[in-house]
């Protein structure tokens, strides 16, 4: 990455000439209409410097238009660009920005050597929290069913961490490592798979926990356990992402005990912080900046 | 008044250019930005040009957007399965031809209203795109580098670094212009648009003409889908869907510029450029995305209204 220092120098040069002018930051996303994205943007704007002229551009789902708008921002010679889209799909635009020496920050975008940095949640840490939660609840001993999805890299790393945590407890047995069919969102097939596992392990107490790499399989497992009349066996279920349905299940105080919530506004704020550092001429060494996530249990689900 | 009616849109276009030139003196009317605009709009342009072909007959093709998506997915799936680029591109173009012929069959042989027929195929093509891609975005290592590099290619021409996508759009423009304006085939299409019954009585082979015109549009939509996939280095089952409404809007804008209010491909070009320049200029001026949409819609209505007002006065 010999280009980085050159870019840094270029950025400083640009700054020196435009020291008094308002700094312009273009935030470009195809997903503004989605609720999660709004949280990113709100967090970004709240943490942004009052001196910035922020232009939020939504392309209504059109990825090619994201490239076009990055090109326009480069033509305009903005001071920094923030994107919230897979960098691999807009690399044509990122290349233009790179050639112009304009830093681009990813806001939960994905890793790319054409981004100054990408701000996101740490999937490894999230998986560690929920799997350790399970291990602790079982006091280090018991039978666990895992729901994983290795074909999708961000979910695969969650499974890998949970594998390591459970393997580190000699008395925890992973009795099944299920990859559900996700065509329908993952709830229905997870439920069917869990029903089969419950049928195969009829003894009460033969399954102690369900660890799911995202919320949908956890919800499917919950349905199967409740319908099998085994909700009172104390089977611990954990999911991840803390979607509204999962929060409802956790709040109900049943088997679904915990999930992880990403801090979307925090990701936006950290992206603003990264932009401020870049505008100050700093080079950010980390390709990825992680924003802490929060374990959601009955204790904090209503917050 | 006739002049205002005919040239109102063109005058408006020049006005828009002058406005942005005034507002953005350093960055708008520059070679780099104009070439950028030409590339940004190339995909929409191709769809709008071929849409002009069916609209010349007074027909519509609402399926062009989902055909563009489907073509991208067909190419992406072939690439992911390890086939060479020419196979993926060929398969996508064949899908466009087959889809277009199917549209033509529904409209000309079964005589279903184009609006209904292509609304149906819009849904079918979209469903096929989801089915073929499993609803996922095909990207990354699955898309060959040479395919995604094509959209970034620039060819030195007339001393200008012309983007490859721009050249491709110009090629389609020339082809459609020749077909519509310079051949008996094109004149017959306009005859059908003028009065289908009269054209039939004059011995025009309407079924064959409509069938081939829709096939033409289908292939054009597939080309646009491939251009889009190359530009974003990925294929997703909805990525071309937005092209359809903008393409129809561009043709309508262009129609305000012709004598009889029929679609002419050079008029469509102006329509396409108006949409592209507005997108580029307003985004450079940091105008809110949603305000931009309202403005663009308003301008289309104004152009069409000024056309029909001129017509009213003349009456």
Same domain, A127 and A221: yes
Distance (Å, whole) CA B168 – CA B175:
11
Residue B52 has pLDDT above 70, yes or no: yes
Best of B46, B286, B294 to mutate (most A CBs within 10 Å, chain A) = B286
Task: Give long-range contacts, CB 8 A cutoff, 24+ apart: A6-10.
Answer: A6/A101, A7/A98, A7/A101, A7/A103, A7/A283, A8/A281, A8/A282, A8/A283, A10/A101
Q: Where are the domains positioned within chain B?
A: 2-314
Q: What is the CA radius of gyration of chain B?
A: 20
161-190 in chain A: CB under 8 A from chain B: 183
pLDDT of B50 strictly over 50 = yes
Evaluate whether A48 touches A25 at the Cβ level (below 8 Å).
yes
The answer on pLDDT for A302 being more than 90 is no
Give the distance from residue A7's alpha carbon to the nearest chain B alpha carbon, in angstroms. 21
Distance (Å) from the C-alpha of residue A248 to the closest C-alpha of chain B? 28
pLDDT band at A9 (very low <50, low <70, confident <90, very high): very low
pLDDT in tens, A57-82: 998 888 999 999 999 999 999 999 99
Residues A46 and A272: their CA atoms lie apart, in Å, by 9
Q: Which residues are registered as beta bridge partners of B155?
A: B162
Any CB–CB contact under 8 A between B133 and chain A? Answer: no
Are residues B61 and B118 in contact, defined by beta-carbon separation less than 8 angstroms? yes
- The percent of residues above 90 in pLDDT, for chain A, comes to 75
Residue B311 scores a pLDDT above 90: no
Query: Which of B232, B278, B293 would you mutate first to test chain A, the one with the most A CBs within 10 A?
Result: B232
Q: From CA A244, how far away is CA B297, in angstroms rounded?
A: 36
Q: Note the pLDDT of residue B307.
A: 67
The pLDDT score that the predictor gives to residue A182 is 75
Candidates A27, A68, A87: best to mutate against B (most CBs of B within 10 A) is A68
User: In this structure, are residues B96 and B67 in contact, taking their beta carbons and an 8 Å threshold?
Assistant: yes
Q: Is the ipTM of this complex over 0.95?
A: no
In a domain, A140, yes or no: yes
Question: Is A53 part of the contact surface with chain B (CB cutoff 8 Å)?
Answer: yes
In this structure, are A15 and A100 located in the same domain? yes
Look at residue A10 and tell me whether its pLDDT is greater than 60: no
Asked if A191 and A165 sit in the same domain, the reply is yes
Tokens describing residue A100: 């112009």
- State how far the Cα of A46 lies from the Cα of B272, in Å rounded to an integer: 38
Residues A84 and A146 in one domain: no
B132 neighbourhood in chain A, CB within 8 Å: none
- Write out pLDDT tens, residues B222-255: 999 999 999 999 998 999 998 999 999 999 999 8
**Closest Cα in chain A to B236:** A63
| Distance set, CA A227 to CA A195, A199, A216, A248, B172 (Å) | 9, 12, 17, 18, 61
| Residue A280 located in a structural domain | yes
- The arithmetic mean of pLDDT across residues B14-22, rounded, is 94
Q: Which of A33, A85, A91, A92 to mutate to test the interface with B (most CBs of B within 10 A)?
A: A92
Dist CA A12 CA A19 (whole Å)? 10
Token match 């450029």: residue?
B273
A296 within domain boundaries: no
Which CATH number belongs to the domain containing residue A218 in this structure?
A: 3.40.50.2300
pLDDT digits (tens, 9 = 90+) for A169-204: 999 999 999 998 876 677 899 999 999 999 999 999
Of B152, B233, B289, the CB nearest to A89: B233
CA–CA distance, B293 with B289 (Å, rounded to integer): 6
Over the stretch A204-242, which tens digit does the pLDDT of each residue have? 999 999 999 999 999 999 999 999 999 999 999 999 989
Contact B36 A64 (CB under 8 A): no
Domain assignment present for residue A66? The answer is yes
Q: What domain range is A235 assigned to? A: 123-261
pLDDT tens, residue by residue, B165-183 = 999 999 999 999 999 999 9
pLDDT in tens, B289-306: 788 788 888 888 887 787
Give dist(CA B150, CA B118) in Å, integer.
31
At residue B205, the pLDDT reads 86
Q: What is the pLDDT of residue B139?
A: 86
- The arithmetic mean of pLDDT across residues B208-234, rounded, is 96
In chain A the first and final C-alpha atoms are separated, in Å, by 43
Q: What is the domain count for chain A?
A: 2
Q: What is the pLDDT of residues A126-167, one digit of tens each?
A: 999 999 999 999 999 999 999 998 877 788 889 999 999 999
Least confident of A35-39, B130-134, B311-315: B311-315
Nearest residue to B219 (alpha-carbon basis) of B88, B113, B64, B55 = B64
Picking from A67, A72, A76, the nearest residue to B232 by CB comes out as A67
A297 falls within a domain: no
Of A64, A76, A86, the CB nearest to B139: A86
Instruction: Kindly state whether residues A273 and A251 are assigned to the same domain.
Output: no
Residue A185 CA to residue A289 CA, distance in Å, equals 29
HSE at residue A233, side-chain half, CA atoms within 13 A, is: 24
The alpha carbon of A158 is separated from its chain's Cα centroid by a whole number of angstroms, namely: 11
- The token pair that represents A283 in the structure block: 């080079």
Closest-CA residue in chain B for A33? B290
Tell me, yes or no, if B258 comes closer than 8 A to chain A by beta carbon. no
B53 pLDDT more than 90: yes
CA distance B16 to chain A (A): 17
Q: Across the interface, which of B30, B239, B280 has its CB nearest the CB of A72?
A: B280
pLDDT at residue B310 in the model: 59
A276 in a structural domain: yes
Instruction: Place A116 in a pLDDT band, splitting at 50, 70 and 90.
Output: very high
Decide if A298 is inside a domain: no
Rounded to a whole number of angstroms, the distance from the CA of B175 to the nearest CA of chain A is 25
Look at residue A173 and tell me if it is in a domain.
Answer: yes
Q: What is the pLDDT of residues A268-279, one digit of tens each?
A: 999 999 999 999
- The distance from CA B261 to its chain's CA centroid, rounded to whole angstroms, is 19
A73: distance to nearest CA of chain B, Å?
7
> CATH assignment of B2-314, given 1.50.10, 1.10.287, 1.10.12, 1.10.3470?
1.10.3470
In whole angstroms, what is the distance from residue A195 CA to residue A224 CA?
5
3-state helix, strand, coil in chain B (%, to 5): 75, 5, 20
Distance CA B236, CA B69 (A): 7
């Amino acid at each position: 990455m010999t280009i980085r220092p050159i870019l840094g120098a270029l950025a400083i040069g640009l700054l020196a000439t435009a020291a008094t002018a308002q700094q312009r930051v273009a935030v470009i996303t195809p997903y503004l209409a989605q609720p999660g994205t709004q949280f990113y943007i709100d967090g970004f704007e709240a943490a942004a410097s009052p001196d910035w002229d922020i232009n939020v551009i939504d392309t209504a789902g059109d990825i090619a238009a994201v490239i076009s708008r990055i090109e326009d921002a480069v033509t305009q010679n903005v001071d920094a660009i923030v994107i919230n889209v897979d960098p691999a799909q807009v690399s044509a635009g990122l290349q233009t920005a790179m050639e112009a020496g304009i830093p681009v920050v990813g806001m939960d975008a994905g890793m790319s050597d054409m981004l100054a940095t990408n701000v996101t949640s740490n999937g490894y840490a999230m998986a560690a929290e929920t799997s350790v939660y399970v291990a602790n609840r079982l006091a280090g001993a018991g039978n666990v069913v895992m729901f994983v999805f290795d074909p999708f890299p961000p979910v695969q790393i969650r499974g890998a961490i949970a594998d390591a945590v459970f393997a580190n407890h000699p008395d925890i047995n992973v009795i099944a490592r299920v990859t559900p069919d996700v065509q329908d969102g993952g709830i229905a097939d997870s439920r069917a798979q869990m029903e089969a596992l419950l049928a195969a392990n009829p003894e009460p107490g033969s399954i102690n926990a369900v660890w799911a790499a995202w919320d949908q399989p956890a919800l499917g497992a919950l349905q199967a356990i409740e319908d099998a009349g085994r909700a009172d066996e104390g089977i611990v279920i954990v999911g991840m992402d803390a979607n509204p349905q999962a929060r409802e299940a956790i709040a109900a105080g049943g088997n679904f005990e915990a999930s992880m919530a990403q801090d979307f506004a925090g990701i936006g704020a950290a992206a603003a912080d990264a932009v401020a550092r870049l505008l100050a001429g700093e080079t950010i060494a980390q390709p990825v900046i992680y924003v802490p996530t929060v374990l959601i249990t009955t204790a904090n689900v209503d917050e | 008044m006739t002049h205002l009616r005919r040239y109102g849109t063109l005058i408006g276009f020049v006005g828009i250019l002058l406005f942005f030139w005034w507002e953005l003196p350093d960055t708008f009317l520059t070679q780099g930005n104009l070439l950028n605009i030409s590339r940004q709009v190339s995909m929409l342009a191709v769809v709008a040009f071929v849409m002009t072909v069916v609209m010349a007959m007074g027909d519509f093709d609402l399926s062009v957007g989902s055909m563009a998506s489907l073509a991208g997915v067909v190419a992406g799936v072939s690439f992911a399965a390890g086939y060479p680029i020419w196979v993926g591109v060929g398969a996508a173009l064949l899908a466009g031809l087959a889809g277009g012929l199917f549209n033509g069959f529904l409209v000309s042989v079964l005589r279903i209203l184009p609006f209904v027929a292509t609304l149906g195929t819009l849904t079918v093509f979209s469903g096929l795109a989801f089915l073929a891609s499993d609803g996922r975005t095909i990207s990354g290592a699955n898309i060959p580098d040479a395919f995604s590099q094509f959209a970034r290619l620039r060819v030195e021409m007339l001393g200008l670094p012309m983007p490859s996508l721009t050249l491709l759009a110009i090629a389609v423009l020339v082809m459609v212009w020749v077909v519509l304006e310079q051949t008996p085939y094109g004149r017959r299409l306009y005859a059908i648009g003028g009065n289908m019954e009269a054209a039939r009585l004059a011995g025009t082979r309407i079924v064959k003409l409509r069938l081939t015109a829709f096939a033409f549009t289908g292939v054009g939509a597939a080309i646009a889908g491939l251009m889009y996939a190359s530009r974003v280095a990925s294929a997703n089952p909805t990525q071309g869907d937005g092209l359809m409404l903008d393409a129809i809007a561009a043709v309508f804008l262009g129609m305000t510029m012709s004598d009889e209010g029929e679609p002419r491909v050079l008029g469509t070009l102006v329509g396409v450029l108006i949409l592209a320049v507005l997108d580029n200029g307003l985004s450079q001026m940091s105008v809110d995305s949603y305000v931009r949409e309202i403005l663009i819609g308003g301008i289309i209505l104004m152009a069409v209204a000024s056309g029909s007002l001129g017509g009213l006065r003349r009456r």
